[in-house]
């Protein structure tokens, strides 16, 4: 699998040296055992994660081909504390404009991922709505592959929710405050896309050829 330069830089930021992961599945005839944990010691220039597995092996991981989940990240603890503080602030500011919903508990999701089996009527596992933005944790089941999680952002424009784009950052299921962890990922993505929790999202409207509301005869 080949990535462009921006995507490789994103992988390097997402999985810095010291990141702990747990393997779910590996697309390799000499695959490391599922459930094995290990530490990323390097991400090379083609986006491959070089590993020090706790079992003593060193087979590398290819994001997008191999399935794994993040256990911990060196920078994640501080970021999560900041996100928890920001989340409480935005909850107070938004009031009823904030909502967190889960179709399953985090522990149940982790168990289903380990077993490779989910209830057939479950596809959207978690949703966090904050003003005019939301993040969804979705379940994807591909033929002959283990179930995996994906992350998606929607925006509210002119009062209606519209699909926006995939979020590449993963939500850590092992975070001590999962709701704050979802908000951390959404807040980081919103900053990268110049999206706003409180206001109509001008970048989204312009990208879709919609008129931006006028106030006092001046464009905003």
pLDDT at 91: 85
The CATH code of the domain at 5-72 is 2.30.30.30
Q: pLDDT confidence of 218, banded at 50, 70, 90?
A: very low
On the question of pLDDT at 219 being above 60, the answer is no
Name the pTM for this structure.
0.60
pLDDT at 101: 95
Residues 6+ apart with CB under 8 A from 169: 14, 151, 185, 188, 189
Instruction: List, for residues 57-84, the tens digit of each pLDDT value.
Output: 999 999 888 999 888 776 655 555 567 7
Provide the CA 96 distance to its chain's centre, in angstroms: 24
Q: How many CA atoms lie within 13 A of 138 on its CB side?
A: 15
On the question of pLDDT at 130 being above 80, the answer is yes
* C-beta of residue 100 within 8 angstroms of C-beta of residue 127: yes
Q: pLDDT confidence of 51, banded at 50, 70, 90?
A: very high
d(CA 133, CA 95): 14
Instruction: List, for residues 141-191, the tens digit of each pLDDT value.
Output: 877 788 889 999 999 877 788 889 999 888 989 888 899 889 989 988 988
Section 87-105 average pLDDT: 88
Segments making up each domain of the chain, as ranges: 5-72, 76-207
Instruction: List, for residues 195-207, the tens digit of each pLDDT value.
Output: 888 766 666 666 6
């Amino acid at each position: 699998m080949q990535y462009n330069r921006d995507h490789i830089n994103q992988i390097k930021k997402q999985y810095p040296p010291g990141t702990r992961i747990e393997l779910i599945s590996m697309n390799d005839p000499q695959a490391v055992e599922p459930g094995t944990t290990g530490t990323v010691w390097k991400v090379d220039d083609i986006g491959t994660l070089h590993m020090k597995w706790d079992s003593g092996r060193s087979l590398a991981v290819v994001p997008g081909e191999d399935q794994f989940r993040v256990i911990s990240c060196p920078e994640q603890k501080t970021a999560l504390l900041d996100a928890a503080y920001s989340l409480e602030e935005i909850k107070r500011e938004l009031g009823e404009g904030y909502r967190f919903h889960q179709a399953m508990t985090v522990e149940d999701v982790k168990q289903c991922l380990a077993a490779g089996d989910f209830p057939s009527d479950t596809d959207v596992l978690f949703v966090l709505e904050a003003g005019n933005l939301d993040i969804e944790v979705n379940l994807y089941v591909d033929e002959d592959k283990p179930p995996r999680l994906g992350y998606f952002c929607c925006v509210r424009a002119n009062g209606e929710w519209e699909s926006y784009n995939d979020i590449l950052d993963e939500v850590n299921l092992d975070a001590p405050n999962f709701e704050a962890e979802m908000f951390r990922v959404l807040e980081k993505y919103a900053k990268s896309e110049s999206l706003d929790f409180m206001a109509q999202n001008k970048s989204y409207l312009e990208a879709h050829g919609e008129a931006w509301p006028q106030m006092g005869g001046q464009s905003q």
